A and B are shown apart, each in its own frame.
Chain A
């Protein structure tokens, strides 16, 4: 338990803010992708073959894939956020001990 602390107070606080922003924004992006929003068409990695045959379903499947990627990234950011929160708490405790 000696040194679970690996970053200073400022880095931990930045990590926490970044994670909160990441969770909210990536979750919303995931929702918009899974509801097949047209504005995000340029972010979907389609190729020429996707337009042959069942074009619409292919594109929808790609949309869903990207959406799930976003959700997984959001979950990863929840983890990073939790880690940063622990670092913030450990830093605060260390600050009180020194005084």
Chain B
């Protein structure tokens, strides 16, 4: 049965399938995502594998996806479109040149006619040539013409108006020019010069009427061309967007193919080249699913022979597989980050689902901040799919992957915030405080109230303390008490020790479950029981003292300090002036310390001694000549002793250091509470204390600052800090009591996770 309690039972299965159906079968298994292929050719280098060519091909396809042979048709089409587009554009530019030429030559002709009417009458040989030349070449052009005709010509030029269209297409500045010369023979010379300067010449009709006609025809041609160009661009855009959709599809297909070929590289091919042998790890409970997937695959490929599954026994350690759902995978991930559990070891994840947010909340305890965190987590959960598109690594892995962890952390923080009675550093008075100020001072008149700044509420004065503690959480009167920290520190430190010792005792108890499962019954008596007795007699007794002192009525001036009691207990220091909490305490304490001290040699010596005895027995049974071989094969006794000594010291000293380590629960919650109070006092209170009308405006501004600082400092920074410390407490103090964590993770061939990670 699959559950989160323990990793799943795995089996090694041999698959035999035909080469033709290999592709389909593996594809089906990939979609199923439940099998991990073992590498059957571990000695073979990557470039020697059978399908290395196919893998390389797939990789190349991935890299240059748009230019693959399947896209040749698309490529040809695009090329043609581009060619046409360029030609059309060239035409358009020419027409535009003619158009502006015609417009500008109007002025020239008028000028020329007026000039010629003053001078001799127009002869038949006067020639004019109109054209367009690049602006930068014009001065040189003019010089050459001067040298050629010695001033016997009229040259006019204007800069062509650069229209928006031309500028957009990156055209250069051009000038329109027109030359009037005498003589027919010069036409050729001018033409040669113009060719040399790469000026484009256009024939310009002489009469006004013809020019007007030409202008009109050029206009219509330009309009047509513009329309054609627009259509071409639209068509090209359409083709590209359609291709882009396909690219995505092709990309995922190529990735799948690459994965399949990579998997095939791990298999063995039979001599006859017709059979492929693969070895897979697969959960026992999923064998039927795997079988049906293979049958489906072989049917798809049209092969007549169904693949054969053959479960084999093996001494190798299978991978560790914990079946998780969306909610539990976050918690499993933080356990696996430290170490993947040994095969069939007990899984700390289900307990972590509760203890981790709880320890976080003990350090974070503020119901206002907890509420903000919960709302944020709810928003992330509802928007998880759309937020996954954000490519930011941190955002994706931490926030989206851990959204359920954040939700639980927030909800637990609201709970501990209610217990600490702390909401943005202010307390709620829901049930009525148990402390009353009036009976303290009214009996003696009100002078004390008026004279002294510091007043003391003595619970032994009748009426001051009602006798019944506040219903749920810390009494709100402590929020305005000046010795709030003395009270809260004592409370939180004791609470941290209680929580820590309980957490560790739970860890030790889990080791019992492991011993029972792996049938190490000897270890139960040699390791579990002494460890439990050691911890309970020392630290269990400490918890008892704490709880006992909380329950009885003491006068604070004469109450014994628990820390001093504990130290004196270890040092066997029972001088008469030290107050004890209960009768018979001395006897009980001496008994407990002696028991704990007795457990140390049990942990240290008994197990190596038993191993030594069993070795002696087998040595007697085995013959003489095998002694030497046995001696060499076995681990030496010295190593066993050293290992056991290390383990014992680690446990015993670790008990004390780990208990102290849990005091970080107190430290961080103190830091959080103080930061919260400082923020309120320094930021928001400044706005509240202004009683005039300006107060509301200041409040608006200061509240914004308060909110931003709360989110950045208290939620993000303190949240990360508490997260880290809670994680450390789990990884080190809790898990070193029972967790081995020396397995390797089950990584099945799964197309879903492949495509998700590549996105």
A residues near B (Cβ < 8 Å) are: 18, 21-22, 25-26, 29, 37-45, 51, 62, 65-66, 69-70, 72-73, 76-77, 80
Contact = CB atoms under 8 A, between A and B. Distances in A.
Given A38-B429, A69-B699, A70-B699, A43 B688 contact: yes
Contacts of A39: 426-429, 476, 479-480
Judged by DSSP, the binding face of A is helix
B696 interface: yes
Nearest to B424: A25
Given A21-B707, A39-B476, A43-B685, A76 B696 contact: yes
B690 A45 contact: yes
Contacts of A76: 696-697, 700
Q: Which of the four size classes fits the interface of chain B?
A: 20 to 34
Contacts of A73: 687, 696-697, 699-700, 703
A40 B372 CA distance: 22
B691 A62 contact: yes
B559 interface: no
20 contacts: A18-B704, A21-B372, A22-B700, A22-B707, A26-B703, A29-B688, A38-B476, A38-B480, A39-B426, A39-B429, A39-B476, A42-B685, A44-B688, A51-B450, A69-B690, A69-B693, A69-B699, A76-B697, A76-B700, A77-B703
B716 to A, nearest CB: 14
Contacts of A26: 699, 703
Contact of A45 (B691, B697, B703): B691
B469 interface: no
A69 B700 contact: no
A51 B453 CA distance: 13
Nearest to B708: A18
Interface in B658-713: 681, 684-685, 687-691, 693, 695-697, 699-700, 703-704, 707-708
Contacts of A72: 693, 696
A43 B684 CA distance: 9
Contacts of A25: 424, 703
| Candidate in A40, A43, A72 with the most chain B CB atoms within 10 angstroms | A43
B399 to A, nearest CB: 16
B707 A18 contact: yes
Contacts of B689: 43-45, 66
Nearest to B710: A21
A96 B687 CA distance: 41
| Candidate in A40, A65, A66, A73 with the most chain B CB atoms within 10 angstroms | A73
A20 to B, nearest CB: 10
B703 A22 contact: yes
A21 to B, nearest CB: 6
B429 A69 contact: no
Contact of A40 (B426, B681, B697, B699): B426
A70 to B, nearest CB: 7
B707 to A, nearest CB: 6
Contacts of B480: 38-39, 41-42
A36 B216 CA distance: 88
Nearest to A66: B688
A44 B685 CA distance: 9
B688 A69 contact: yes
Contacts of A22: 700, 703-704, 707
Given A39-B480, A73-B696, 14 more contacts: A18-B707, A21-B707, A39-B426, A42-B685, A43-B685, A66-B689, A69-B691, A69-B693, A69-B696, A72-B693, A73-B687, A73-B699, A76-B696, A77-B703
A77 to B, nearest CB: 7
Nearest to B681: A42
Contacts of A44: 688-689
A41 B429 CA distance: 13
A51 B476 CA distance: 24
A37 to B, nearest CB: 7
B239 to A, nearest CB: 19
Contacts of A43: 684-685, 688-689
A75 to B, nearest CB: 8
Contacts of B450: 51
A76 B704 CA distance: 12
Nearest to A72: B696
Nearest to B421: A39
Contacts of A37: 429
Contacts of B697: 73, 76
Contacts of A77: 700, 703
Contacts of A45: 688-691
Contacts of B693: 69, 72
A69 B640 CA distance: 75
Contacts of A65: 691, 695
A68 to B, nearest CB: 8
A42 to B, nearest CB: 7
Interface string B407-435: 00000000000000000101111000000
A38 B476 CA distance: 9
Contacts of B479: 39
Interface in B236-251: none
A72 B699 CA distance: 9
Nearest to B433: A38
Contacts of A62: 691
Contacts of B424: 25
B695 A69 contact: yes
| Candidate in B476, B697, B707 with the most chain A CB atoms within 10 angstroms | B707
Contacts of A70: 688, 696, 699
A72 B143 CA distance: 81
Nearest to A51: B450
A51 B451 CA distance: 12
Contacts of B372: 21
Interface in B689-744: 689-691, 693, 695-697, 699-700, 703-704, 707-708
A40 B429 CA distance: 11
Interface string B470-492: 00000010011000000000000
Contacts of A40: 426
Contacts of B681: 42
Contacts of B429: 37-39
Closest 7 CB pairs of A and B: A72-B696, A73-B699, A69-B695, A45-B689, A43-B688, A73-B696, A69-B696
Contacts of B707: 18, 21-22
| Candidate in A42, A44, A51 with the most chain B CB atoms within 10 angstroms | A42
Contacts of A21: 372, 707
Contacts of B691: 45, 62, 65-66, 69
A66 B708 CA distance: 23
A62 B691 CA distance: 7
Nearest to A71: B696
A73 B690 CA distance: 13
Nearest to A69: B695
B495 to A, nearest CB: 23
Contacts of A42: 480, 681, 685
A4 B718 CA distance: 39
Contacts of B684: 43
Contacts of B700: 22, 73, 76-77, 80
A77 B645 CA distance: 66
A27 B86 CA distance: 67
Nearest to B479: A39
B376 to A, nearest CB: 10
A21 B372 CA distance: 9
